[in-house]
Structure 1
Amino acid sequence: MRPLLLLLPLLLFACAPKRAEAPAPEAQTPLALQVRVVEAKQGVLEREVRASASLQAEQDSLVAAGASGRVLRTLPAGTRVRAGEGVVYLDPAPFQEALEAARLNLQQAEANLERAQNQLLGNRATLKAQLQAAEAQLQAAKRRYEEGQALLAIGALAPLDLKALEAQYRQAESAYQNALEALSRLERAEDIRLLKLQVEAARLQVRQAERNLRESVVRAPFAGEVVEVFVKEGEFVGAGSRAFRLATTERLLAKLFLPPDQASALSPETPFLLRQNGQEVAARLLRKTDLPGQTRLVEVVLKPEGRLLPGPAEVRYRVRLAEGILLPLASLQIRNGEARVFVVQEGKAQSLPVRLQAQEAGQAVVEGLKPNTLVIHPVPESLRDNDPVEVVR
Structure 2
Amino acid sequence: MQKCFKIQMIFLILFIWAGFTLTGCDQITRRLDPEKETKPESEEVRAVSVVTVATQKVTLTTELPGRTAPFRMAEIRPQVNGLILKRQFTEGANVTAGQVLYQIDPAPFQAALDNAEAALARAKANLAATRLRAERYETLLADNAVSRQSYDDAAAALTQVEADIAAWKATVKSARINLAYTRITAPISGRIGRSNVTEGAIVTAYQPLPLATIQQLDPIFVDVPQSTIELLRMKDSRDHAGEKDLNQVKILMEDGTAYPQDGTLQFSDVTVDPTTGSVIIRAVVPNPENRLLPGMFVRAQIMEGVDEHAILIPQQGVSRDAKGNPFALVVDENNRAAFRGLVLDRAIGDQWLVSSGITPGEKLIVEGLLMLRPGMAVAATPFDALSSQETPDASSQKKRDKGAL
TM-score bucket of the superposed structures, by smaller chain:
0.5 to 0.7
What is the match of residue 140 of structure 1?
none
What is the match of residue 107 of structure 2?
93
SS of match in other structure, 1:222: coil
**Matches for 1:206-225 after TM superposition, within 5 Å:** 206-225=172-191
What is the match of residue 37 of structure 1?
50
Which of 239, 247, 253 is the matching residue for 2:214? 247
| Structure 1 position 260 matched with structure 2 position 256 | no
Q: Give the CA deviation at 1:207.
A: 0.5
SS of match in other structure, 1:114: helix
Q: Is the 8 A contact 2:191 2:214 kept in 1?
A: yes
Which of 374, 385, 389 is the matching residue for 1:384? 374
Tell me the alpha carbon deviations over residues 45-94 of structure 1, each in whole angstroms, 9 at most, x when there is no partner: 868746363x5544433212222233322225425433212221123232
What is the match of residue 311 of structure 2?
325
| Structure 1 position 273 matched with structure 2 position 252 | yes
Q: Give the CA deviation at 1:98.
A: 1.8
Q: Give the CA deviation at 1:119.
A: 1.7
Give percent identity, aligned residues only: 17
What is the match of residue 200 of structure 1?
166
Tell me the alpha carbon deviations over residues 99-123 of structure 1, each in whole angstroms, 9 at most, x when there is no partner: 2211121122223333222222211
Q: Is the 8 A contact 1:281 1:304 kept in 2?
A: no
Q: Is the 8 A contact 1:274 1:304 kept in 2?
A: no
Q: Give the CA deviation at 1:365.
A: 0.7
Q: Is the 8 A contact 2:101 2:183 kept in 1?
A: yes
**Structure 2: how far apart are the matches of 1:370 and 1:344?**
12
What is the match of residue 397 of structure 2?
none
Q: Is the 8 A contact 2:86 2:199 kept in 1?
A: yes
Label 1:322 to 1:122 Cα distance change in 2 as closer, same or farther (>3 A).
Answer: closer
Tell me the alpha carbon deviations over residues 260-319 of structure 1, each in whole angstroms, 9 at most, x when there is no partner: 345664963231212369895545245455497833243444525453264654423446
Label 1:286 to 1:36 Cα distance change in 2 as closer, same or farther (>3 A).
Answer: closer
Tell me the alpha carbon deviations over residues 121-142 of structure 1, each in whole angstroms, 9 at most, x when there is no partner: 21112222229x9xxxxxxxxx
SS of match in other structure, 2:373: coil
What is the match of residue 358 of structure 1?
345
Label 1:216 to 1:41 Cα distance change in 2 as closer, same or farther (>3 A).
Answer: same
Higher mean C-alpha deviation, range 258-267 or range 195-204: 258-267
Label 1:252 to 1:277 Cα distance change in 2 as closer, same or farther (>3 A).
Answer: farther
Label 1:80 to 1:375 Cα distance change in 2 as closer, same or farther (>3 A).
Answer: closer
Structure 1 residue runs without a partner (length 5+): 1-12, 134-177
* Amino acid across the alignment from 1:356: V
Q: Give the CA deviation at 1:203.
A: 0.5
SS of match in other structure, 1:294: coil
Q: Give the CA deviation at 1:237.
A: 2.8
Q: Give the CA deviation at 1:202.
A: 0.8
Q: Is the 8 A contact 2:249 2:265 kept in 1?
A: no
**Matches for 1:74-85 after TM superposition, within 5 Å:** 74-75=87-88, 77-78=90-91, 80-85=94-99
Which of 371, 378, 387 is the matching residue for 2:360? 371
Higher mean C-alpha deviation, range 257-266 or range 70-79: 257-266
Structure number with the bigger relative contact order (C-alpha 8 A, sep ≥ 6) is: 1
What is the match of residue 330 of structure 2?
342
**Structure 1: how far apart are the matches of 2:108 and 2:225?**
53
Q: Is the 8 A contact 1:263 1:300 kept in 2?
A: no
- For normalisation by structure 1, the TM-score amounts to 0.65
Label 1:259 to 1:194 Cα distance change in 2 as closer, same or farther (>3 A).
Answer: same
- For normalisation by structure 2, the TM-score amounts to 0.64
**Structure 2: how far apart are the matches of 1:321 and 1:329?**
23
SS of match in other structure, 1:96: helix
**Structure 1: how far apart are the matches of 2:59 and 2:191?**
45
SS of match in other structure, 1:365: strand
Larger Rg: 1
**Structure 2: how far apart are the matches of 1:251 and 1:120?**
65
Aligned Cα RMSD in Å? 4.3
Q: Is the 8 A contact 1:60 1:245 kept in 2?
A: no
SS of match in other structure, 1:315: strand
| Structure 1 position 69 matched with structure 2 position 73 | no
| Structure 1 position 298 matched with structure 2 position 279 | yes
